[in-house]
């Protein structure tokens, strides 16, 4: 999770919402991602999506079976769905997203019985640190407006 947090801090330095993700296969980091919506002018450029694309490229395979993602914020509906489609084994996420979280906060996408893949989930790793980074970012953003 520390590597994902490092990516989140890089996103913040670039003026992005500070969310970071890494994908691990075995004990090796195979992909990294951070929010890049502003930079790429792309509403889908979430940290998870960037990391999924990089991991698929690295493996030359869209199936990421056995891979684990560490992400600093609970995935949204788009990202949760993409993680299912990519066959990611487990997602470890730091802090809930009460406005758009799709693991447990707003939706429970991974509990949908009709989906063909189950993503394991753990939450709360470095939660205080990741939540603090997001809160301070938005506090500064509101003060600038």
Biggest CA pair distance of the chain: 45
Q: Give CA–CA dist 11/3, Å, rounded.
A: 13
Quickly tell me which residue has 């490229």 as its tokens.
57
Chain Cα centroid distance, residue 63:
17
Candidates 7, 12, 16, 48; catalytic one: 48
Active site residue 48: yes
Beta bridge partners of 120: 90
Quickly tell me which residue has 């493996």 as its tokens.
59
Sign of CA dihedral 72, 129, 31, 66: negative
Residue numbers annotated as active site: 48
């Amino acid at each position: 999770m520390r590597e994902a947090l490092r990516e989140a801090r890089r996103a913040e330095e670039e003026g992005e919402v500070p969310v970071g993700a890494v994908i691990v296969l075995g004990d090796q980091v195979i992909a990294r991602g951070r929010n890049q919506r502003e930079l790429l002018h792309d509403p889908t450029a979430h940290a998870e999506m960037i990391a999924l694309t990089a991991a698929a490229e690295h493996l030359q395979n869209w199936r990421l079976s056995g891979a684990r993602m560490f992400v600093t914020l609970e995935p949204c509906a788009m990202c949760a769905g993409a993680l299912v489609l990519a066959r990611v084994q487990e997602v470890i996420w730091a802090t809930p997203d009460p406005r758009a979280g799709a693991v447990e906060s707003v939706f429970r996408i991974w509990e949908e019985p009709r989906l063909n893949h189950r993503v394991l989930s753990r939450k709360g790793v470095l939660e205080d640190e990741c939540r603090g980074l997001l809160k301070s970012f938005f506090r500064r953003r509101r003060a600038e407006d």
